Amino acid sequence: MAMKIRLARGGSKKRPFYRIVAADSRMPRDGRFIEKLGSYNPLLPKDSEERVQMNVERVQHWLDQGAQPTDRVSRFLEAAGVIAKKERNNPKKAVPGKAAQDRAEAKAAKAAEAAEAAAAPAEESAE
């Protein structure tokens, strides 16, 4: 059975609250889970101690059993010092999308045309 340590969403519309759970990877996100390991409340300030709470001993037990944490949960575990920090590299993160690049090129071309048009009458008056 492929185990995951992941977030299961609770809370009402636009008021998210998550449980950190150990679940079979084939189960739905908010569906059946084996054990609740903690909670995460993203509405609390980042420096609040109640924002992320987890039972570190049980998390370590599931990691020893071969459970794989999701990316967000692994970040929580890294902050808690349970697992080693991974090196993350996303060089394309800051690159704008194709539509934004097209708009930038069009804007640059329009600015170049305007500069040429402004320079042309100045040359004619100089003669």
Domains of the chain, residue spans = 3-80, 92-127
The CATH topology of domain 3-80 is: S16 Ribosomal Protein; Chain: A; (3.30.1320)
Query: Which residues neighbour 90 within 8 Å (Cβ) at sequence distance 6 or greater?
Result: none
Instruction: Report the candidate in 42, 64, 67, 66 with the shortest Cα–Cα distance to residue 52.
Output: 42
Classify burial at 61, counting beta carbons within 10 Å of its beta carbon; exposed 0-12, middle 13-18, buried 19 or more: middle
Q: What is the model's pLDDT at position 123? A: 59
List helix spans (H) across 1-127. 56-64, 71-80, 98-126
Q: What is the model's pLDDT at position 122? A: 57
Instruction: Report the candidate in 50, 21, 51, 48 with the shortest Cα–Cα distance to residue 37.
Output: 21
Percent of the chain with pLDDT over 90: 59
Percent of the chain with pLDDT over 70: 94
CB of 62 closer than 8 Å to CB of 5: yes
Segment 34-91, tens digit of pLDDT = 999 999 999 999 899 899 999 999 999 999 999 999 999 999 999 988 888 888 787 8
Pairwise CA distance, residues 47 & 104, whole Å? 38
